[in-house]
């Protein structure tokens, strides 16, 4: 599904190397978690994969189902099946949530040469999916993320994910700013999307999200490299010993 | 005080090219307006309220040539019931217009005001314009009152079932039109007036609107897509107790547009909303100059102006709220914003507040900026292509102004024109 090889990334405007040779392979049907201390490069990895400006790839590659995604525009990556659930979803005043969703769904279908979804089919699907995420009609009508609480914003991200049905979902600290109930709701939304054809990359500081979204593989990212890879037990180790303990062990 | 020589000669040159129409009972009003013009002189770049907009081509004797533009789109405001009133190069076209009959109002041409002895119109013609000359002079409006060659007098007495739709056709590359409408909305009456089209190569339009207690008027206009056209328009509106006036203007293209609105809230609990959205590309200069006077208790005024500018286009906003002594509980709001799509375009804003009452809420804001990159990336990351995402963000920027239009069908028509303009520029 996703194959990252020796990825080196620096900030475009500064001589600051952030990723220093990341190797990672996410298989279809699997959930990989990336954990790591602040400043280790977790968010940079998610932004570089989704095509945000401001980063420069100096070495290495990233392929989604064999296609080089690093040369693609963000919208092309989305159409190819990439989805990033933002750590801080952006507010867009003046654009209705529903309009946004429909434009996105149909733009991707068009890019893939599929027929656009009719207004009524779209509405039916959105309503059904919104309901399971406890997103009411009012939230769908409001401008994108404007005036949403932290939990509502994250639920809205998962709704977009459910509507767009990507192949690879990257969740960037989706647990940040969520209380326990909201986290459960979001995790249920994510779990409902787990299937054999879809890969997940879950980026988080804490082990608690992984209680709800059970990972198959856990990686520790530190200093711009993946320094340790293991099973779900590795997340527990982080919880018990902190990153310092693991890093000392690896050094 | 004598006028500066340059102003004097420019004014004389313009007046030489015009003849005062024969107009019986309006003669005194026209003569008075002419002497206002002679006293004030026509605008020059040195006048405080013309600092940002060059008045030269609006003032010069001959209208600069403007090619007639044939838009390949359905006419504006075509999708719903309305009464059509058509002017071609500033001349009423009876053939193209509907019968000027509609329950709840009367419509007459200004040339018939005297022979039909229409008292209210006689008493209104030039009156609000003259009131609007202080404290800021508006010589082009006085010129209009003196020399207007056509226009209508509309008296609204009931709730009118469908909008009046003025279509101003531009058919001659050298046309120079001066139109003057007077409108009286009687107590409790309600009307929607639509206007569309460029009208002429150069268009000077003045609308005097007197709204009695409890009357309501909605005005929505679209100024035509002809690239080279020029326009100077004035709205003079006086509002009585509990009356409502809401206006929205769409400006798409046009080399030079100056829209002035002079609003006077004279009765308690009156509401006036003035909004505008303009989109300009290249050789485009758009100026909104608004003056709202609160002279009664508990009135509300809103000014919402949004401008999208690219390829060196210029936007100007001069908006003032004057709250007179005793106009307590005034609620005044003013926002003017521009979205600059490149580094070559500019937006010049002069918001003004002058308040002589101590229990009021007045706010104003003015911003100028580029498209929000964060928002753009967010949309693109969901698969929306760059051009489409930019358009969505641009429409979103304009939405606050368009939302001022109450009627959903009319607003949808305006939005579709904006979408068309954006799509043509991808």
Pairing verdict, β A17-26 and A2-11: antiparallel
Q: Quick check: A104 and B388 CB within 8 A?
A: no
Q: Please report residues of B whose CB lies closer than 8 A to that of A53.
A: 373, 377
Does residue B141 register a pLDDT over 70?
A: yes
Residue A99: its chain B contacts at CB < 8 A?
392
Rounded Cα–Cα distance for residues B288 and A183 (Å): 50
Query: Using an 8 Å Cβ cutoff, are A231 and A31 in contact?
Result: no
Read off the pLDDT of each residue in B46-60 and give the average, rounded to a whole number.
Answer: 96
Please report the pLDDT score of residue A46 as a whole number.
Answer: 94
pLDDT digits (tens, 9 = 90+) for A114-164: 999 998 999 999 999 999 888 888 889 999 999 998 889 999 999 999 999
Size of interface A-B (CB pairs under 8 A): 81
Q: ipTM for the complex? A: 0.95
Mean pLDDT computed over B211-235? 96
- B-chain residue closest to A163, CA distance: B382
CB B322, CB B294: distance < 8 Å:
yes
What pLDDT is recorded for position B421? 94
Peptide bond connecting A50 to the previous residue in cis, omega within 30 degrees of 0:
no
Element holding A158 (H helix, E strand): helix A150-164
Mean pLDDT, chain B, rounded, equals 96
Q: Which residues of B212-313 form beta strands (DSSP E)?
A: 216-222, 230-239, 244-252, 256-265, 271-281, 285-294, 300-310
Helices in B19-87 by DSSP H: which ranges? 27-40, 56-59
pLDDT at B298 over 70: yes
pLDDT > 80? residue A173: yes
What does each C-alpha distance from A98 to A64, A115, A140, A227, B33 come to in angstroms? 29, 19, 5, 42, 54
Strands, sheet with B244-252, edge to edge from the N-terminal-most edge strand: B91-92, B83-88, B164-169, B190-196, B216-222, B244-252, B271-281, B300-310, B331-340, B361-369
Residue B145 pLDDT > 70: yes
CB contacts of B383 in chain A (<8 Å) are 75, 78-79, 104-105, 107-108, 111, 164
CB neighbour list of residue B345: distance below 8 Å, 6 or more residues apart: B280, B309, B310, B311, B312, B313, B314, B315, B338
pLDDT > 70: what percent of chain B?
Answer: 100
Q: Which tops the pLDDT comparison, A178 or B40?
A: B40
pLDDT-based confidence at residue A251 (cuts at 50, 70, 90): low
pLDDT at A239: 84
pTM comes to 0.91
User: Would you state the pLDDT for residue A132?
Assistant: 86
Overall residue count recorded for chain B in this entry: 426
Please check the confidence at residue B137 and state whether its pLDDT lies above 70.
yes
Q: Which tens digits make up the pLDDT trace of A39-88?
A: 899 999 999 999 999 999 999 999 999 999 999 999 999 999 999 999 99
**pLDDT attached to residue A250:** 67
Instruction: Calculate mean pLDDT across residues B155-180.
Output: 97
Residue B263 — very low, low, confident or very high, per pLDDT cuts 50/70/90? very high
Q: Among B295, B243, B297, B252, which residue's Cα sits nearest to residue B272?
A: B243
* Beta-carbon contacts of residue B99 (< 8 Å; ≥ 6 apart): none
Q: What is the pLDDT of residues A194-219, one digit of tens each?
A: 999 999 999 998 888 898 999 999 99
B395: closest chain A residue by CA = A94
Q: How far A164 CA lies from chain B's nearest CA (Å)? A: 8
pLDDT exceeds cutoff 80 at A249: no
**Residue B393's closest chain A neighbor by CA?**
A95
């Amino acid at each position: 599904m996703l194959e990252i090889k020796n990825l080196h990334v620096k900030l475009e405007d500064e001589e600051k190397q952030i990723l220093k040779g990341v190797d990672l392979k996410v298989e279809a049907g699997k959930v990989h978690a990336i954990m790591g201390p602040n400043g280790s490069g977790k968010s940079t990895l998610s932004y570089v994969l989704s095509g945000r400006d401001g980063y420069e790839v100096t070495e290495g590659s990233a392929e989604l189902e064999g296609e080089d995604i690093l040369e693609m525009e963000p919208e092309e990556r989305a159409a190819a099946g990439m989805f990033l659930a933002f750590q801080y979803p952006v507010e867009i005043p003046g654009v209705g949530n529903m309009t946004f969703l429909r434009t996105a769904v149909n733009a991707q279908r068009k890019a893939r040469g599929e027929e656009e979804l009719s207004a009524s089919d779209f509405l039916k699907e959105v309503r059904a999916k919104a309901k399971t995420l406890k997103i009411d009609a009012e939230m769908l009508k409001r401008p994108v993320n404007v005036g949403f609480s932290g939990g509502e914003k994250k639920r809205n991200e998962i709704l977009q994910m459910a509507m767009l049905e990507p192949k690879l979902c990257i969740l960037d600290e989706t647990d940040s700013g969520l209380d326990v109930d909201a986290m459960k709701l979001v995790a249920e939304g994510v779990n409902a999307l787990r299937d054999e054809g879809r890969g997940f990359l879950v980026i988080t500081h804490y082990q608690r999200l992984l209680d709800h979204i059970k990972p198959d593989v856990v990686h520790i990212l530190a200093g711009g490299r993946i320094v340790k890879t293991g099973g779900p037990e590795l997340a527990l180790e982080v919880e018990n010993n902190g990153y310092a303990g693991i890093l000392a062990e690896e050094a | 005080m004598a006028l500066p020589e340059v102003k004097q000669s420019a004014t004389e040159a313009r007046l030489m090219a015009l003849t005062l129409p024969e107009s019986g009972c309006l003669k005194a009003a026209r003569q008075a307006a002419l002497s206002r013009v002679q006293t004030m002189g026509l605008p020059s770049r040195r006048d405080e309220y013309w600092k940002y907009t060059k008045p030269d081509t609006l003032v010069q004797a001959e209208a600069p040539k403007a090619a007639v533009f044939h838009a390949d789109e359905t006419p504006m405001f075509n999708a719903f019931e309305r009464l059509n009133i058509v002017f071609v190069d500033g001349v009423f076209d009876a053939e193209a217009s509907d019968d000027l009959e509609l329950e709840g109002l009367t419509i007459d041409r200004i040339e018939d005001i005297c022979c039909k002895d229409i008292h209210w119109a006689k008493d209104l013609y030039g009156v609000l314009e003259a009131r609007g000359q202080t404290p800021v002079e508006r010589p082009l409006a006085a010129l209009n009152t003196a020399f207007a060659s056509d226009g209508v007098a509309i008296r609204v007495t009931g709730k009118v079932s469908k909008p009046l739709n003025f279509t101003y056709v531009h058919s001659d590359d050298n046309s120079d039109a001066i139109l003057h409408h007077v409108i009286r909305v009687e107590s409790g009456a309600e009307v929607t007036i639509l206007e569309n089209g460029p009208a002429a190569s150069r268009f000077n339009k003045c609308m005097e609107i007197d709204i009695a207690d409890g009357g309501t008027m909605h005005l929505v206009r679209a100024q035509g897509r002809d690239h080279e056209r020029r326009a100077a328009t004035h709205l003079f509106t006086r509002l009585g107790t509990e009356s409502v006036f809401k206006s929205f203007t769409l400006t798409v293209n046009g080399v030079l547009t100056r829209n002035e609105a002079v609003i006077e809230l004279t009765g308690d609990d009156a509401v006036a909303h003035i909004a505008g959205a303009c989109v300009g590309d290249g050789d485009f200069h758009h100026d909104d100059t608004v003056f709202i006077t609160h002279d009664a208790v508990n009135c509300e005024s809103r000014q919402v102006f949004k401008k999208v500018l690219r390829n060196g286009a210029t936007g100007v906003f001069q908006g003032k709220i004057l709250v007179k002594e005793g106009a307590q509980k005034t609620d005044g709001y003013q926002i003017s914003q521009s979205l600059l799509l490149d580094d070559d375009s500019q937006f010049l804003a002069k918001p003004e507040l002058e308040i002589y009452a101590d229990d009021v809420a007045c706010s104003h804001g003015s911003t100028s900026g580029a498209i929000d990159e964060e928002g753009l990336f967010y949309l693109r990351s969901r698969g929306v292509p760059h051009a489409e995402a930019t358009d969505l963000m641009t429409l979103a920027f304009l939405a606050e102004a368009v939302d001022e239009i109450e009627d959903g069908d009319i607003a949808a028509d305006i939005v579709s024109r904006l979408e068309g303009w954006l799509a043509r520029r991808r």
